[in-house]
Amino acid sequence: MYGYGGSILRVNLTSGEIRREPLPQELARDYLGGRGFGAFLLYREVPRGTDPLGPENRLYISSGPLSGLLVAGAGKCDVTTKSPLTGGYAGASIGGMLTAEMKYAGIDVIAIEGKAARPTYLYIDDDRVELRDASAYWGKGSLTTEKALKEALGESFQIAAIGPAGEAGVAYACISHDFGRQAGRGGVGAVMGAKNLKAIAVRGTRSIPVAQLERYRELARAMYAACKAAPGLEAWQKYGTAGVTTWANEIGAFPTRNFRSGFFEDHSGLSGETMRAAIVVTDKACFGCPSPCGKYSYVRKHGVHVEGPEYETTALIGGNCALASIEDVAYANYVCDELGLDTISAGNVVAFAIECYERGIIGKADTGGLELRFGDVDVVCTLLRQIAAREGLGAVLARGVKHAAETFGRGSEAFAMQVKGMEMSGYESRHAPSMLLSYMTCDVGAHHNRSWAITYDIARGRDAVTPDKAAKVIELQHIRPLFDCLGACRLQWVELGLDLGHYAPIVEAITGLPRSWEDLLTISERVWNLTRLYWFREVPGFGRAWDAPPPRTYLEPVETGPTAGKRTSREAAERLLDMYYEQRGWDRDGRPTPAKLAQLGLAGL
């Protein structure tokens, strides 16, 4: 099959059975790859009601038709599973080199089920696939493990590993790769840990068949040239996502002190330029990327190397915990990376705990004598280590902010900043209705990446609660995750302004299947509806109430900064949902209608 590795690698950790199946052509045609494969297989193969940390849950690691080819940004991989954090769909995206290496080994999907009797790592060297003893690595940090496996196996192997947090089943443990890239959200690392799977090591040396070789080369060169000529390249390459920090503060969207405010008075110490001057050593790219936005940093103050911090980490661990020093944020980032913790969820949960302490909801008896306060990197890192070890207060915090609020009670549910059980990421959205709706309706929980719509609020008018805002969110929810199906990065489009018109032609040249951009968007809409069905199937009572924003949104106005005094009323949030459901062809409870499912070829599920 043109454009694909050609196989699903089935790994049963209980029985030790390993086999390759041919990739079904209809699967590639109708679901494209990456997140599409993950969603389809999860829905089909993981029985309703499966325990996310039990052996019946499956982990799907999927590349896409662009992965590993000479396409700008062709370095993204999807990781899909049933989430131990939310109980619903988890789909996380990881960059680096993994997706390419899998394709070169002839693999489109690594489908893992069961549970190994002992710590294990999956070894893939083209056709040679083995389950190997990982007891030497169990307990070690994810960065340490990656380095050790590269030393043991050779630099040409690509390694994905979990840290102690994944081993311990922390609900927001991540999978790490390429010394600083993560499949971050939804607890995908905990699923690996529950299976006693410490790491995956891949090497592949085959080539990928392409339908129209000359056309593909011509189109790939044109994409590359367009990226290199983009006026936005200079700033994007120099600062990466760290460039967002200053702007987020200017527009009052920077999470500060558990989202009490959207403005951090000390944000200048966290800016892109401050970061570059203080800690950045080099720019870092994923496979096939002409616009290296990764930043590899050395933090002299703490003596560690780390990739980052990315904007989200600076938002959730920086502003949200009121850390004013980029060196401190970078150090906490390193601690999360070694432990294998999603920095977004971790920063959110830590800030929540600090606010609970400030309000007297928890005290020294709960913290083992540790005084929790904002602005203290030692407090942050102590809590991170407790979370990874599930000790002390960490035992409660390890299950996520929703669970922590249910445990602490005393009104703390009102400021647990989560949707569907996933901690909210880096945009304070009480004066940004499109962004708020994005968080309410994202299909993994309160994550921004499906529909980064805040710029639309700025351009259109922040007060407007109008149908075009719902339309923009839906449009972005189809376009952005399409890249997760293609196995490529969307940031060449988002940040460099690369014309979307490049993509359908090159997908056709690679796969040989004539499909328009609209055809590809239909696949993305299909996947969107499928993950929605998954939530309805798996979460008892799932419906409109699960799309609700955190109560702080409507109960409390923003405390300081450009959006001080603003909030979004409950009525406005309901109106946003009504408009969204109507435009999506869903009923008033947010369930896809039979007509919509039939239109997308999902009838009968």
Partner 1 sequence: MSVTIVPVGLLRPMLADDRLALAEAAGKTVAAVLADLKIDPDLVAMVLINGRQASKDSVLDDGDTVKLIPFVGGGRR
Residues that bind partner 1 (CB under 8 A): 231-232, 234-235, 238-239, 243-244, 246-247, 250-251, 268, 271-273, 276, 452-456, 458-459, 472, 475-476, 479-480, 490, 493-495, 497, 499-501, 517
Residue 93: C-alpha distances to residues 14, 176, 185, 238, 304 (Å) = 26, 11, 9, 23, 25
Q: Is 238 helix (H, G, I), strand (E, B) or coil?
A: helix
Q: Strand 120-125 to strand 197-203: parallel, antiparallel, or no bridges (unpaired)?
A: parallel
Among residues 173 and 506, whose Cβ is nearest to partner 1? 506
Structure tokens at 544: 């409109």
Structure tokens at 216: 């593909």
Q: Burial level of 277, CB count in 10 A (0-12/13-18/19+)?
A: exposed
Smallest gap, in angstroms, from Cβ of residue 232 to partner 1? 5
Structure tokens at 149: 């496996």
Smallest gap, in angstroms, from Cβ of residue 241 to partner 1? 10
Give the residue from 13, 177, 184, 26 showing the smallest Cα distance to 110. Answer: 13
Residues 6+ apart with CB under 8 A from 305: 281, 296, 297, 298, 299, 334
Residue 311: C-alpha distances to residues 103, 252, 290, 333, 425 (Å) = 30, 15, 20, 11, 10
Helix segments in 230-300, DSSP class H: 233-239, 244-250, 272-278
Smallest gap, in angstroms, from Cβ of residue 430 to partner 1? 16
Among residues 507 and 533, whose Cβ is nearest to partner 1? 507
Smallest gap, in angstroms, from Cβ of residue 471 to partner 1? 11
Smallest gap, in angstroms, from Cβ of residue 231 to partner 1? 4
Phi, psi of 488 (to 5 degrees): -135, 165
Contact indicator for 185, 158 with CB cutoff of 8 Å: no
Structure tokens at 132: 């190997």
Smallest gap, in angstroms, from Cβ of residue 468 to partner 1? 11
Among residues 277 and 395, whose Cβ is nearest to partner 1? 277
Among residues 383 and 436, whose Cβ is nearest to partner 1? 436
Quote the CA–CA distance of 272 and 252 in Å, as a whole number.
Answer: 17
Among residues 173 and 242, whose Cβ is nearest to partner 1? 242
Q: Is 179 helix (H, G, I), strand (E, B) or coil?
A: coil
Q: Is 280 left (phi over 0), alpha (psi -120 to 50) or beta?
A: beta
The DSSP letter of residue 341 is B
| Residue in this structure with the two tokens 């309706």, named with its chain if needed | 441
Smallest gap, in angstroms, from Cβ of residue 583 to partner 1? 16
Smallest gap, in angstroms, from Cβ of residue 478 to partner 1? 11
Residues 6+ apart with CB under 8 A from 411: 361
Smallest gap, in angstroms, from Cβ of residue 512 to partner 1? 24
Smallest gap, in angstroms, from Cβ of residue 500 to partner 1? 4
Quote the CA–CA distance of 599 and 584 in Å, as a whole number.
Answer: 12
Among residues 81 and 524, whose Cβ is nearest to partner 1? 524
Among residues 499 and 574, whose Cβ is nearest to partner 1? 499
Residues 6+ apart with CB under 8 A from 350: 317, 321, 379, 380, 383, 384, 397
Among residues 223 and 349, whose Cβ is nearest to partner 1? 223
Smallest gap, in angstroms, from Cβ of residue 515 to partner 1? 16
Contact indicator for 199, 190 with CB cutoff of 8 Å: no
Residue 185: C-alpha distances to residues 60, 111, 257, 292, 417 (Å) = 14, 19, 21, 22, 15
DSSP 418-450: EETTEEP-S---TT-HHHHHHHHH-BTBS-STT
Among residues 199 and 329, whose Cβ is nearest to partner 1? 329
Among residues 493 and 534, whose Cβ is nearest to partner 1? 493
Smallest gap, in angstroms, from Cβ of residue 54 to partner 1? 38
Smallest gap, in angstroms, from Cβ of residue 65 to partner 1? 20
Residues 6+ apart with CB under 8 A from 274: 268, 326
Among residues 246 and 348, whose Cβ is nearest to partner 1? 246
Smallest gap, in angstroms, from Cβ of residue 496 to partner 1? 9
Give the residue from 555, 371, 562 showing the smallest Cα distance to 458. Answer: 562
Smallest gap, in angstroms, from Cβ of residue 444 to partner 1? 19
C-beta pairs of 513-517 under 8 Å, 24+ apart in sequence? 513/29
Among residues 7 and 274, whose Cβ is nearest to partner 1? 274
Contact indicator for 310, 329 with CB cutoff of 8 Å: no
Among residues 190 and 223, whose Cβ is nearest to partner 1? 223
Among residues 357 and 528, whose Cβ is nearest to partner 1? 528
Among residues 232 and 467, whose Cβ is nearest to partner 1? 232
The DSSP letter of residue 173 is B
